[in-house]
Structure 1
Amino acid sequence: MTLSEDILHFVWKYRLYDIRRLNTMSGKTLRILDTGIHNHDAGADFLAARAVIADVEWVGNVEIHIRASDWERHQHHKDKAYNNVIVHVVYEYDEAVYREDGTLVEALELKSLMPHHILPKYRELMSGMYWIPCERLIHLTPPFHLSQWLSRLLVERFEYKVSSIYALLAEQRGSWEDTCYIWMARCFGFKVNALAFEQLARSLPQLILAKYKRNPLAIEALFFGQAGMLENVDFEDDYPRELQREYSHLRRLHSLRPMDASMWKFMRTRPGNFPSIRIAQLAALCKRTVQLFSTIVEMKDPPALKALFDDLPINSYWEKRYRFDGTLSRHGSQLGGRSIDTLLINAVAGILFAYGKYIGKETYIYRAIALLENLKAEDNAVLKRFSTLGVQVQQAAESQALLQMKAFYCDKRKCLDCGVGLQLIKHNE
C-alpha cells in the first residue's frame, strides 16, 4: 500500500514520534512548542505552529510530504504563500528544498523517529478486508477511551439530525409546533414510509386538526382521507364508510387534496408496520394532543415522555384489521416497546436537542441526552455485529453513537479521525 500523507498528518498532530533531541536535516536543534492548527483547505497543512530552531523561536506554518522532493513537485518553491513555512516535515528526506525567496526550508525526517508499529497498524486498517477497518483490533480499545469517544459521537449524531430539523423549521417559518408535527409524522413512517408520512403531515396542517380535537372520527377521517386511502373504494365495513362520509364533508370544507395512495408501501413490511396501522396510531397521538411540541417540552422526565405513546386512543376497528376490509385477525394495535423507543430516539430526543441548541438553553440538550441514557440500546444488524466484536452497549445513547461511527467513520475509512483509530494506532498491543 502506498504511504499516505494522511498518516503523516496524524503522526505530526499527535506527536507520535520520538520528540527527544530532535534535529533538522541541516543539523540544527529543533523543539516543537505547538504543532499548529490542522488545515483542511488550500495552503500549508498546519497553521500557526511554533518551534524553536537553534535556540530561535519561530511562528509559522508546517508543510508535510512523503518525500522532501514533493515540495518542488507541488510547485511550492514558486509560491509566496509557502514562504512562511518554518518546518518541512517529511517521511523521507531525499533533497534540500528552498522557499520562493531562496531561503532553505528546515526539514524534519520522520522515518527514523516513528514507532515501528504505526505503519503496519495503519496499513491493516486501510486494507479494506473487514466489515469495519478495526474488526480484528477494536476489542483492544481501552474502555475509558471508547466511552469518551461514544459520548462525543452521540453529540455528533444529534448535530447531524439537527441540520434536517432546522431546514424544516425554516420551511415552517420558525414554527416549532409545525416542525415537530411533521418531524414526528416522518418518524412514524420509520424507514420504509418516512417520506409518505412527511407528505401526509404537510398536506394536513395542525390548525385544521386543532378544530376537531374533540371529534375523534373527524381526525381519523382527515388522516386516512388525506392519505388517499378512502378514494374510489366501495367498502364493506361500516367504519371505513363512516370515514368516507366524514372526509367527504371535511375535504370540501377545507379545500383539501388527498395524496396518491400508491405512495404507501405495504410490500416487505410486517402487518404490524403496515402504513394503515401506523396512520391509526399517529391519528390517535394527535387525538391525545394536537400540540405535540408544547407537550414534549413540558414533560421533564423520560417516563412521562414514554407514557405519551402508551395506550393510545386507537379506534377498536384496528384490533381486528391491518387494512380496511381486511381479513379478521385479532392482534395488538398499540405501538410496541421497540417502536416507542425508536420514536423517542429519532423524534423526541432530536426535537429537544435541536430546540435547546436553537434557543441556547443546555437544559433541553441535557434532557435529550438523558432520555437516550434511559432507553435500552437498539437491536439491529449493525449493533449485533459490533457485539460479536466485543463492543456491547446497554443504552440507546451508546447504540446511537455506534451507528454514527459505522456510517461516518468505519464505512468511509476515516480511522485517523476516529477516537478508536487513534488509540489503536498510538499503542503497540
Structure 2
Amino acid sequence: MTLPEDILHFVWRYRLYSTRHVLTVSGKTVTVLDAGMYNRDAGPDFLGARIRIGDTEWAGNVEIHVRASDWDVHRHQFDRAYNNVILHVVYEYDRAIKREDGIPPETLELGPLVPKNILGRYRELMAGRHWIPCERRIHAVPSFQLSQWLSRLVIERLERRVSAVFDLLTQQKGDWEETCYIWMARSFGFKVNAQAFEQLARSLPRGVVAKHKDHPAAVEALFFGQAGMLERVNFSDDYPRMLQQEYGYLRKLHALTPVDATVWKFMRIRPANFPTMRIAQFAALCQYAVHLFSAIIDNKEVAVLKAWFDKLPVHPYWQRHYRFDTPAPAHSNQLGAQAIDVLLINAITGILFAYGKYIGKEAYLYRAIALLEHLKAEDNAVIRRFSALGVHAEQAADSQALLQMKAYYCDRKKCLDCGVGLQLIKTMRDGKADSSLF
C-alpha cells in the first residue's frame, strides 16, 4: 500500500513520533512548541505553527509530503503562498528543494522517527475487508473515549440535519410551518419512500390541506389523489371510489397536479410500512395538526410529542386493507411504538435543533439532545451488528451516533478522522503498544 499524506498529517498533528533527538536534515535540533492548525483547504497543511529550530523560534506554516521531491511535483516552488513555510516535514528526504523566494526551507525527515507499528496498524485498518475497518479492535477502545466520541457524533448528525432543514427553509422562503410539513412528510417515508413523500408534500401545499381540515374525506382524497393512487379507472371498494370522486372536484378547485404513482415503493417492505398505510396515517395527522411546527416548538414534554402520533383518526378501511381493493386480515391502522420513536428521532429533533440554530437559542438544541437521550435506541441491522461487536446502544443518542459513524467514517474508511481510529493508532506511540489491542 502506498503511504498517503493523510497518515503523515495524522502523525504530525498528534505527535505520534519519537521526540528524542529530532534534527533537520541540516543537523539543527527541532522542538515543536505548537504543531499548528490543520488546514483542509488550499495552502500549507498546518498554519500558525511555532517551532524552535536550533536557537531560533519560528512562527509560520508547515508543509508535509511523503517525499521531499513532492514539493516540486506539486509546484510549490512557484507559489508565494508557501514562502512562509518554516518547516518541510517529509517521510523520505530524497532531494533538496527551494521556496518561490529561492530559500530552501528547513526539512525534517520523519520516517526514522515514526514507529513502524503505527504505520502497520494504519495499513491494517485500510486494507481490511471487514464490516468496519476496526471490527476486530473496537471492543478494546476504553469506554470513556468511546462515549466522548459518540457524544460528538450525535451533534455532528444533528448538524447534518440542520443543513438539510435550512436548504428546505430557503426553498420555502422562510416559512417554518411549510418547512416542517415537508420535513415531517419526508420522515413518514421511513427512508425507502422518503423522496416520494417529499414530492407528495411539495405537490400539496399545507394551506390547501388546512382549508379542508374539518372534512377528513377531503384531506384523505387530497393526499391519495396527489400521490397518484386514484388514477385507476375502476375501483371495486366504495372507499377508494368515494376518494376518487372527491379528489376529482378538489383537483380542479385547487389546480393540482399529482405525482407519478411509480415513485412509490412496495417491494421488500412489510405491509404495515406500505406507503398507502403511511399516507393514510400522515393524512390523519394533518387533519388536526395543521400548525405542526408551532406544536413542536411549544410542547416540551416527550409524552405530549408522542401523543400526536398515537390513536390517529385513520379511516377504518385501513384496518382490513394494506392497498386499495385488496382485503387483508384485521390489523392495526396505527403507527407502532417503534415507528413513533423513529419519527421523533428523525423529524422532531431535526426541527428543534435547526430552529435553535436559526434563532441562536441553545434551549432548543438542548431539547433536541434531551429527546434523543430519553428515547430508546433504534433497533436495526447496523445497531445490532455494533452490539455483536461489543458496542451497545442504550438510548437513541447512542444509536444515532453509531449510524453516523458507520455512514460517514467506517464506510468511507476515514479512520484518521474517527475517534475510534485515533485511539487505536495512538496506542502505538513511541513503539509501545497495548497488548490488549491485538
Cα drift, residue 176 of structure 1: 0.6
After alignment, is 207-216 or 328-337 more displaced? Answer: 207-216
**Does the residue aligned with 2:127 lie in a helix, a strand or coil?**
coil
The one-letter code of the counterpart of 1:221 is A
> For residues 186 and 406 of structure 2, what CA distance do their matches in structure 1 show?
23
Would the alpha carbon gap of residues 16 and 280 (structure 1) be closer, same or farther in structure 2, given more than 3 Å must change?
A: same
The alignment status of 1:302 with 2:307, answered yes or no, reads no
The alignment status of 1:175 with 2:175, answered yes or no, reads yes
**Does the residue aligned with 1:59 lie in a helix, a strand or coil?**
strand
Aligned to 1:54: 54
What does 1:9-158 correspond to in 2, within 5 Å?
Answer: 9-158=9-158
> For residues 332 and 260 of structure 1, what CA distance do their matches in structure 2 show?
28
Aligned to 1:207: 207
The one-letter code of the counterpart of 2:132 is I
Would the alpha carbon gap of residues 312 and 64 (structure 1) be closer, same or farther in structure 2, given more than 3 Å must change?
A: same
After alignment, is 239-248 or 299-308 more displaced? Answer: 239-248
**Does the residue aligned with 1:90 lie in a helix, a strand or coil?**
strand
Aligned to 1:322: 322
Would the alpha carbon gap of residues 117 and 318 (structure 1) be closer, same or farther in structure 2, given more than 3 Å must change?
A: same
Would the alpha carbon gap of residues 68 and 244 (structure 1) be closer, same or farther in structure 2, given more than 3 Å must change?
A: closer
1:34–1:50 CA contact under 8 A, matched in 2: yes
Structure 1 gaps of 5+ residues are none
1:288–1:312 CA contact under 8 A, matched in 2: no
> For residues 401 and 33 of structure 1, what CA distance do their matches in structure 2 show?
34
Kindly report the root-mean-square deviation, in angstroms, between the aligned alpha carbons of the 2 structures: 1.8
After alignment, is 370-379 or 15-24 more displaced? Answer: 15-24
Would the alpha carbon gap of residues 207 and 60 (structure 1) be closer, same or farther in structure 2, given more than 3 Å must change?
A: same
Cα drift, residue 328 of structure 1: 4.0
Would the alpha carbon gap of residues 109 and 221 (structure 1) be closer, same or farther in structure 2, given more than 3 Å must change?
A: same
Would the alpha carbon gap of residues 267 and 99 (structure 1) be closer, same or farther in structure 2, given more than 3 Å must change?
A: closer
1:230–1:240 CA contact under 8 A, matched in 2: yes
After alignment, is 240-249 or 124-133 more displaced? Answer: 240-249
User: TM-score, normalising length from structure 1?
Assistant: 0.95
Cα drift, residue 118 of structure 1: 0.8
Would the alpha carbon gap of residues 8 and 235 (structure 1) be closer, same or farther in structure 2, given more than 3 Å must change?
A: same
Cα drift, residue 22 of structure 1: 2.9
Aligned to 1:408: 408
Cα drift, residue 52 of structure 1: 1.4
Aligned to 1:258: 258
> For residues 365 and 403 of structure 2, what CA distance do their matches in structure 1 show?
20
**Does the residue aligned with 1:284 lie in a helix, a strand or coil?**
helix
> For residues 99 and 167 of structure 1, what CA distance do their matches in structure 2 show?
43
**Does the residue aligned with 1:293 lie in a helix, a strand or coil?**
helix
> For residues 62 and 319 of structure 1, what CA distance do their matches in structure 2 show?
67
Aligned to 1:229: 229
Cα drift, residue 81 of structure 1: 3.1
Would the alpha carbon gap of residues 176 and 28 (structure 1) be closer, same or farther in structure 2, given more than 3 Å must change?
A: same
After alignment, is 414-423 or 299-308 more displaced? Answer: 299-308
Aligned to 2:184: 184
1:183–1:347 CA contact under 8 A, matched in 2: yes
Cα drift, residue 393 of structure 1: 1.0
Aligned to 1:281: 281
Would the alpha carbon gap of residues 244 and 79 (structure 1) be closer, same or farther in structure 2, given more than 3 Å must change?
A: closer
Would the alpha carbon gap of residues 99 and 276 (structure 1) be closer, same or farther in structure 2, given more than 3 Å must change?
A: closer
- 1:319-351 Cα shifts (integer Å, max 9, x gaps): 111122221420011001111111111111111
Would the alpha carbon gap of residues 98 and 220 (structure 1) be closer, same or farther in structure 2, given more than 3 Å must change?
A: closer
> For residues 417 and 264 of structure 2, what CA distance do their matches in structure 1 show?
40
Q: In percent, how many aligned pairs have the same letter?
A: 66
The one-letter code of the counterpart of 2:378 is E
1:277–1:322 CA contact under 8 A, matched in 2: yes
Cα drift, residue 309 of structure 1: 0.7
1:353–1:364 CA contact under 8 A, matched in 2: yes
> For residues 286 and 425 of structure 2, what CA distance do their matches in structure 1 show?
51
Cα drift, residue 51 of structure 1: 0.9
Would the alpha carbon gap of residues 95 and 242 (structure 1) be closer, same or farther in structure 2, given more than 3 Å must change?
A: closer
User: TM-score, normalising length from structure 2?
Assistant: 0.93
Aligned to 2:220: 220
Cα drift, residue 259 of structure 1: 2.8
- 1:183-204 Cα shifts (integer Å, max 9, x gaps): 1111111122222211221122
Structure 2 gaps of 5+ residues are 428-432
> For residues 259 and 106 of structure 2, what CA distance do their matches in structure 1 show?
68
Would the alpha carbon gap of residues 179 and 75 (structure 1) be closer, same or farther in structure 2, given more than 3 Å must change?
A: closer
Would the alpha carbon gap of residues 80 and 288 (structure 1) be closer, same or farther in structure 2, given more than 3 Å must change?
A: closer
> For residues 25 and 153 of structure 1, what CA distance do their matches in structure 2 show?
41
- 1:287-326 Cα shifts (integer Å, max 9, x gaps): 1211111111111122221121111111112111112222
> For residues 262 and 25 of structure 1, what CA distance do their matches in structure 2 show?
67
The one-letter code of the counterpart of 2:88 is H
Cα drift, residue 58 of structure 1: 0.8
- 1:384-426 Cα shifts (integer Å, max 9, x gaps): 2211211111111111111111111111111111111111000
After alignment, is 114-123 or 405-414 more displaced? Answer: 114-123
1:288–1:313 CA contact under 8 A, matched in 2: no
**Does the residue aligned with 2:50 lie in a helix, a strand or coil?**
strand
Query: How many residue pairs were aligned?
Result: 429
Would the alpha carbon gap of residues 219 and 69 (structure 1) be closer, same or farther in structure 2, given more than 3 Å must change?
A: closer
Cα drift, residue 73 of structure 1: 4.1
- 1:36-85 Cα shifts (integer Å, max 9, x gaps): 12122332221111111222111111111223333344443444432221
1:44–1:63 CA contact under 8 A, matched in 2: yes
The alignment status of 1:378 with 2:341, answered yes or no, reads no
> For residues 101 and 409 of structure 1, what CA distance do their matches in structure 2 show?
40
Would the alpha carbon gap of residues 210 and 70 (structure 1) be closer, same or farther in structure 2, given more than 3 Å must change?
A: closer
Aligned to 2:430: none
The one-letter code of the counterpart of 1:188 is F
